[in-house]
Amino acid sequence: MIYNNNRQPTYCRVLLDSGSQHNFITEALAQQLRLKRTRTSCAVIGINESTHSASHVVNTNIKSRVTNYLSNLDFYVLPKLTTNLPSMPVATSNLILPAGLALADPTFGTPQAIDIILGAEIFFDLIINEQLRPLPNGPVLQNTRLGWIVSGPVPYSIVRNTNVSIALFAHTSPNLQTLKDQMAAFWRLEEIAPGQSYTMEERACKEHFEKHVQRDDNGRFVVVLPFKRTSHTRISSVEKAFTRIRTTDGTLTLGKRKFYTT
């Protein structure tokens, strides 16, 4: 059983899954219970690395239907947890169950929706060291704090053969897609494009920094000031200036001669 926001118990169907890192609840049940939600951003990764996003977490109590066991747990909210289980109806009357067993789910042989998954954080706290196997190569009856549960292979004479296989495994992590996008955007801003070419002046600055910048014993930077060599461009400009002066001087001299010639 699970409690709503008014602390009233409601029956639900629970699957124990030691391969799941956390506990999960369906969106439908969370809405029915009207539980207070806490925002989160979490990626739920399952079989074949299939990824789904959980955006809310709820907290509530669960209680056994047949014992006094009670526990307070957090649940990640997902639209759906798995298909109906078992995948095909099981003739439980042929399983030769011992009389008087307090089953956690008396209707375990009927395919029904799963409302809650209890993961590894509580799985082994629920297990009691007591097992029964009424049939050779048949299902195992496991005693838990929630009552007796049934798991394992079922003979074909008891259930019709089916190609459906259910495997559950889930672990949670920070929202991977969001994190990857943020990191990609960061590196796009910071990265230097491969094969970027430098000018001669930029290359000289880089080489000077690598050769001469260091730290003294006090941790202060010691820098040798670079001096820019006279460039060909500057020499060319000076030559052009002198050429312009000589040309102007020649023009003025020629004009002076014309002015005073009769």
For the chain, which domains are there? 1-174 (2.40.70.10)
Does pTM surpass 0.85? no
pLDDT for res 92: 81
Count helices and strands (H / E) in the chain. Answer: 5, 14
194 CB contacts (<8 Å, ≥6 apart)?
Answer: none
Taking Cα atoms as reference points, which of 32, 126, 28 lies closest to residue 73? 126
Separation CA 212–CA 54 (nearest Å): 54
The more confidently predicted of residues 251 and 198 is 198
Find, among 22, 83, 85, 84, the residue nearest to 56 by Cα.
Answer: 22
Confidence label for 209 from pLDDT (cuts 50, 70 and 90): confident
Q: What is the pLDDT of residue 144?
A: 95
pLDDT at 165 over 50: no
The reported pLDDT for the residue numbered 179 is 57
- Which of 70 and 240 is assigned the larger pLDDT? 70
- Judged against a pLDDT cut of 60, whether residue 184 lies above it is answered with yes
Q: Residue 88 is encoded by which pair of tokens? A: 């095909």
Mean pLDDT of 2-20: 93
